[in-house]
Amino acid sequence: MKKIIIAMLLFFAAVFVMLQYYFTDIEINKYPDKETVVKERAIEHGWVPALLPDSAYDIEETHDVEKDQLFGRFYYKEPDEKALIETLKLIPESNGTYEWKGFLFKIDRETNMVKYRNKLSK
């Protein structure tokens, strides 16, 4: 009887560990424009960078609170490009990667799309 109880406890412990590993706390959010991002408080939560241009649209972000990982992208209208790039700092020898506060950015000027992610903690 004691062996059965120990086996059951080990089984449930293994199932618990597997569930924790496979079902992380990942959340994906989509916003049509900056107004919605502000309304949903995504900037306050740190999921979307505060330098988001006013013309930003089709905004998506994916974050995993447990692993402290954040990925996102947004599109912007051409008139906001100059101000956006002036706000960012180009990382030398990074193949076009920019940084601003706790974020890294890649800009596709042909499609007016910005991909971003958080800097990983060391």
**pLDDT the model gives residue 13:** 77
Supply the DSSP string of the chain, one letter for each residue: -HHHHHHHHHHHHHHHHHHHHHS--EEEEEEEEHHHHHHTTHHHHTSS-TT--TT-EEEEEEEETTTTEEEEEEE--GGGHHHHHHHSEEPTTSSSEEEETTEEEEEETTTTEEEEEEPPP-
Cβ–Cβ < 8 Å for 65, 25? yes
Is 61 part of any domain? yes
Residue 2 belongs to a domain: no
**Considering the entire predicted model, what is its pTM?**
0.78
In angstroms, the CA 29 to CA 62 distance is 6
Greater confidence, 69 or 17? 69
Task: Report, as an integer, the average pLDDT of 42-62.
Answer: 96
- Compute the average pLDDT of residues 45-54: 95
Q: Are 72 and 43 in contact (CB under 8 A)?
A: no
Residue 14 lies in a domain: no
Does 5 reside within a domain?
no
Residue 18 has pLDDT above 70, yes or no: no
Higher pLDDT, 94 or 117: 117
pLDDT of residue 57 exceeding 80, the answer is yes
The pLDDT value recorded for residue 22 is 65
Number of domains in the chain: 1
Assigned domain for 7 exists: no
Q: Does any domain span residue 13?
A: no
pLDDT mean over 26-34: 94
Domain that holds residue 93: 26-118
Give pLDDT, residue 46. Answer: 92
